């Protein structure tokens, strides 16, 4: 009964653990995708910054205050994007650490359950050995009882046979017919 119950419950627990790990993996992959898009945006902004540095709309080909402010704004945008990327990377690393600790925890749980199963198996093997030994002893006792019963029956049969034989030999001879006994009785009287 316990084996059947364990057989039914084990897949349920496995499925829940698998769904949780797939959810974590999904969150991890979404976080990576988010960081990758932020890196792409940063690369675009850096390209815009590079172009803004090359733009010279002022007199004699110099940059104006407006060009410099535009470049600084783009640079500040890049810095904000970098800060966001760092914070998202920290979240990603936290996911990674969480997954690693989860794997270690599952590994330890699996190891503990394996050790528990092994000890249970060893206990059951010892019990089986004890039961086999008891069964062999019981069979030996049963065989001894059968042998004793057979010997007792044989001894009783021999005793009964000897008693019957002894009684037959001790029995007085069978008297002759009455007429012959009368005749013998007359003879006795005559003598």
What's the rounded Cα separation, in Å, for the pair 186 and 174?
A: 19
- Whether the predicted pLDDT of 129 surpasses 80: yes
Q: DSSP for 45-103, please give it.
A: HHHHHHHHHH---SGGGPPPHHHHHHHHHHHHHHHHHHHHHHHHHHHHHHHHHHHHHHH
Half-sphere exposure of 47 (CA within 13 A, CB side): 6
More confident residue, 107 or 50: 107
Does residue 121 sit in helix, strand or coil? helix
Q: How confident is the model over 23-82, as pLDDT tens digits?
A: 667 888 898 999 999 999 999 988 888 888 887 777 766 778 888 888 899 889 999 999
Q: What is the DSSP letter of 114?
A: H
Give the domain ranges of the chain.
Answer: 2-143
Per-residue pLDDT band for 14 (boundaries 50, 70, 90) equals: low
Per-residue pLDDT band for 1 (boundaries 50, 70, 90) equals: low
């Amino acid at each position: 009964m316990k084996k059947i119950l364990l057989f039914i419950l084990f897949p349920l627990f496995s499925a829940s653990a698998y769904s949780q790990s797939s959810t974590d993996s999904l969150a991890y992959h979404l976080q990576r995708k988010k960081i990758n898009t932020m890196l792409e945006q940063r690369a675009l902004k850096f390209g815009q910054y590079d172009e803004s540095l090359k733009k010279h709309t002022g007199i004699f080909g110099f940059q104006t205050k407006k060009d410099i402010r535009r470049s600084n704004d783009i640079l500040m945008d890049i810095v904000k994007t970098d800060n966001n990327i760092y914070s998202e990377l920290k979240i990603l690393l936290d996911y990674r650490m969480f997954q690693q600790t989860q794997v270690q925890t599952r590994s330890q749980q699996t190891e503990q359950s394996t050790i528990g199963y092994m000890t249970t198996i060893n206990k059951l093997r010892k019990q089986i050995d004890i039961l086999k030994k008891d069964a062999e002893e019981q069979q030996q006792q049963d065989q001894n009882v059968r042998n004793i019963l057979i010997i007792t029956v044989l001894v009783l049969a021999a005793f009964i046979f000897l008693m019957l034989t002894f009684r037959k030999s001790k029995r007085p001879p069978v008297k002759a017919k009455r007429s012959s006994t009368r005749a013998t009785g007359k003879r006795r009287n005559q003598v």
